[in-house]
Amino acid sequence: VSDFASIPGLSPRIVPISPTDEFYLIDTALQKPQVDLDSWTLTIDGYVDNETTFTYADLAAMEQIEREVTLSCVSNPVGGDLVGNAVWRGVRLTDVLDQAGVQDPTDLTTQIFSRSVDGWTCGFPTPFAYDGRTAMIALQMNGEPLPVIHGFPARLVIAGLYGYVSATKWVETISITDWEGVDGFWMPRGWSKEGPIKTQSRIDVPQSNQRIAAGPTVLAGVAWSPTVGIAKVEVAIDSTDEWFEAELAEPASDE
């Protein structure tokens, strides 16, 4: 296959970059916060040497990184569209944390606990920001400032974690806190405290219950495993024990 994107029915939301206006949208905000950029600040506190506050101008003046990262909602059903790739641009989370002086970046008994301007919270183990994955405070999405619905003026993007434990939009506070005893929004509601994105795949072509004409048929789909990657995909047909190795496109994202 020379051009995977030209296969009719193969999801354009994922291959290769999801248009911003088609990127999936999941949050608890009934009304999206309208943040005043002139008064907005981001504060780093908790188990740090110095509580530190950044303005938007401070963040914009720091070294910027740009990464293609796949995000997927934990609620995404098989064949669902709550997954997408975007090009995120912003500041390394560790660059901001280091300015405040995290007391022990390797301590798994602590977490990076973030709060939105509307009070939503979540957290993930502190070492995850330092293990080499993309962990950033994003200021832009697909070459433009973050849209309000996706977290303007700044949001967290952490590769390999579901959003309910990591992807705080409209972020205003990042605290280094104890892992035990400090729970984000979804934990009291029965959700798991850990939220690693699992390896997933789906077949887009042919669609479910689609009639197939006699003769050669294209099978196509998408597989993703952020921070791990996909090395091989195999497909079995008609519940047989014979598996066929699929041809892979260039990955849309390493994360």
Q: Which of 39, 170, 179 is nearest to 115 (CA)?
A: 170
Mean pLDDT score, 24-41: 93
CA distance 142 to 38: 24
Mean pLDDT score, 119-137: 97
Q: Which of 176, 55, 69 is nearest to 127 (CA)?
A: 176
Tokens of 160: 């390999």
88-125 pLDDT, tens per residue? Answer: 999 999 999 999 999 999 999 999 999 999 999 999 99
CA 26 to chain centre: 12
Tokens of 140: 């832009």
pLDDT at 137 over 90: yes
**Is 0.75 topped by the overall pTM?**
yes
Amino acid at 109: T
User: Radius of gyration (Cα) for the chain, nearest Å?
Assistant: 20
Alpha helix locations (H) across 45-192?
56-61, 93-100
Mean pLDDT of the chain: 89
Cα-based torsion angle of the residue sequence 49, 93, 227, 1 in order, rounded to the nearest 10 degrees: -170
- Which has the minimum average pLDDT: 136-150, 170-184, 219-233? 219-233
